């Protein structure tokens, strides 16, 4: 039997999010149902509802940083039981048959069915998916993550997108002792990059527009902190980094930032700007440098990230809000007025 749950939804690119209801499917043999306790606010939510990444299928219930407690499991579920602390990230299904899915890289699913997002996508039956700004959800057990008991659910929620978005490239490009890692931007993504890179043993530098968050950056694990508004920064740090993680969604001067890389260094785009990048090819060829991108992580890697965060006591800096504050929270995210992740208390929806 389907259930009706309360939610907050966007009905157009210019309308505020408002309270509504959505239907959740009946629990099937392989499904896990859980009450959502907390849902993080990701900049991707804002891009989507404002139609900056294409026109979404309104109404949109955003939210892909979801943490809660299991209330029911299907007859054939083996991984979870009632009462377990669980989470769901950016996708709720994939083809399960392509090489990437079989390798645990479901976020890069190439099958005809494709990766299906937690919101603004469809279920296998074609019905729309609705995200975490709601009170409950039903998801196939293979796309549910186990949240370690030592991580509070409010702090676990942002790990399901912000955490894995930084953990995946740090692991892929072998960040660790002896590696110089720079993080561009100290926001919801960037502050997790600093914490994770530090926990992995890398030497971490924050590159921010100004020094106003320098005290925070150093407290969170950065070894150095520089203002990109100062031209001397690019001279002083030329050729320093093995890996640069760009967490901001603005179009930066790629030539300047590529000049900060060592030979064979890589700059990874994570913030996804609205407009295409302009890349000077001499800055690439001159040091055999690379620009790459990275998108969240697969289910195995996301579980690895959660377990790593539990082991190393890595959690996001959060501000818990009531659901009715969501539109003001969006405005504050856009003006960089949050340190460092808003998390909705789903009990207030």
Regarding whether 195 and 169 lie in a shared domain, the answer is: yes
Task: Classify the C-alpha dihedral 45-9-32-86 as positive or negative.
Answer: positive
Q: Give the list of residues 6+ apart from residue 35 with CB closer than 8 angstroms, or none.
A: 68, 69, 71, 135, 136, 346
Q: Residue 230, Cβ neighbours under 10 Å: how many?
A: 13
Question: Could you tell me if 62 and 105 lie in one domain?
Answer: yes
- Only one residue has tokens 């055999």, namely 288
Residues 84 and 229 in one domain: no
* Own/partner pairs, 196-200, CB within 8 angstroms, 24+ separation: 196/163, 196/166, 196/167, 196/170, 196/308, 196/309, 196/314, 197/166, 197/170, 197/221, 197/245, 198/222, 199/308, 199/312, 199/314, 200/170, 200/171, 200/175, 200/176
| Boundaries of domain holding 238 | 163-293
Asked whether residue 77 is domain-assigned, the answer is yes
Measure the CA–CA gap between 160 and 168, rounded to whole angstroms.
Answer: 12
Residue 301 maps to a domain: no
Nearest to 248 by CA among 216, 277, 218, 219: 277
Looking at the domain assignment, is residue 305 inside a domain? Answer: no
Q: How many domains does the chain have?
A: 2
310 part of a folded domain: no
Q: What is the CB neighbour count within 10 angstroms for residue 246?
A: 27
**Polymer length in residues for the chain:** 349
Distance, in Å, from the CA atom of 28 to the CA atom of 24, rounded to the nearest integer, reads 12
* Judgement on whether residues 16 and 153 belong to the same structural domain of the protein: yes
Distance of CA 240 to the CA centre of its chain: 27
Both 247 and 115 in one domain: the answer is no
Residue 170 is predicted with a pLDDT of: 98
CATH at residue 240: 3.40.50.720
CATH code at 322?
Answer: 3.90.180.10
Distance of CA 109 to the CA centre of its chain: 18
pLDDT tens digits, one per residue of 229-271: 999 999 999 999 999 999 998 888 899 999 999 999 999 999 8
Mean pLDDT, the chain cut into blocks of 10 residues (349 residues total): 96 97 97 98 95 94 98 97 98 96 97 93 94 98 98 98 98 98 96 98 97 96 97 97 94 92 97 83 93 96 98 98 98 92 98
- pTM summary value: 0.95
- Do residues 24 and 112 both lie within one domain? yes
Backbone angles phi, psi at 149, to 5 degrees: -60, -25
- Segment 70-127, tens digit of pLDDT: 999 999 999 999 999 999 999 999 999 999 999 999 999 999 888 999 999 999 999 9
In this structure, are residues 66 and 133 in contact, taking their beta carbons and an 8 Å threshold? no
Same domain as 176, residue 93: no
Q: For residue 14, is it within any domain? A: yes
């Amino acid at each position: 039997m389907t259930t009706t749950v309360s939610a907050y939804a966007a009905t157009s690119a210019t309308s505020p999010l408002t309270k509504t209801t959505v239907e959740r499917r009946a629990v099937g043999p392989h499904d896990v149902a859980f009450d959502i306790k907390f849902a993080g606010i990701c900049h991707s939510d804002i891009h989507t509802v404002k139609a900056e990444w294409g026109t979404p299928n309104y109404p949109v219930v955003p939210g892909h940083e979801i943490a809660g407690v299991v209330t029911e499991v299907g007859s054939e579920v083996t991984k979870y039981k009632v009462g377990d602390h669980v989470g769901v990230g950016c996708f709720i299904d994939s083809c399960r048959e392509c090489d990437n899915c079989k390798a645990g890289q479901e976020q890069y699913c190439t099958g005809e069915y494709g990766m299906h997002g937690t919101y603004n996508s469809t279920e296998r039956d074609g019905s729309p998916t609705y995200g975490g700004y709601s009170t409950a959800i039903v998801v196939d057990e293979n796309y549910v993550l186990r949240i370690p008991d030592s991580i509070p659910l409010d702090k676990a929620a942002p790990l399901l997108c912000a955490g894995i978005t930084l953990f995946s490239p740090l692991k892929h490009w072998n960040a660790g002792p002896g590696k110089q890692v720079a993080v561009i931007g100290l926001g919801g993504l960037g502050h997790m990059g600093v914490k994770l890179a530090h926990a992995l043993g890398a030497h971490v530098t924050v590159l921010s527009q100004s020094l106003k968050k320098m005290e925070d950056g150093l407290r969170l694990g950065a070894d150095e902190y520089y203002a990109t508004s100062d031209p001397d920064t690019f001279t002083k740090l030329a050729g320093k980094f093995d890996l640069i993680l760009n967490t901001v969604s603005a179009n930066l001067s790629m030539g300047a930032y590529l000049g900060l890389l060592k030979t064979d260094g890589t700059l990874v785009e994570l913030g996804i700007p609205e407009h295409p990048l302009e890349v000077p090819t001499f800055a690439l060829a001159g040091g055999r440098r690379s620009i790459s991108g990275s998108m969240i992580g697969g289910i195995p890697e996301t579980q690895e990230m959660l377990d790593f965060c539990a082991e190393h006591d890595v959690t996001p800096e959060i501000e818990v809000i009531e659901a009715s504050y969501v539109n003001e929270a969006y405005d504050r995210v856009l003006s960089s007025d949050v340190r460092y992740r808003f998390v909705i208390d789903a009990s207030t929806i």
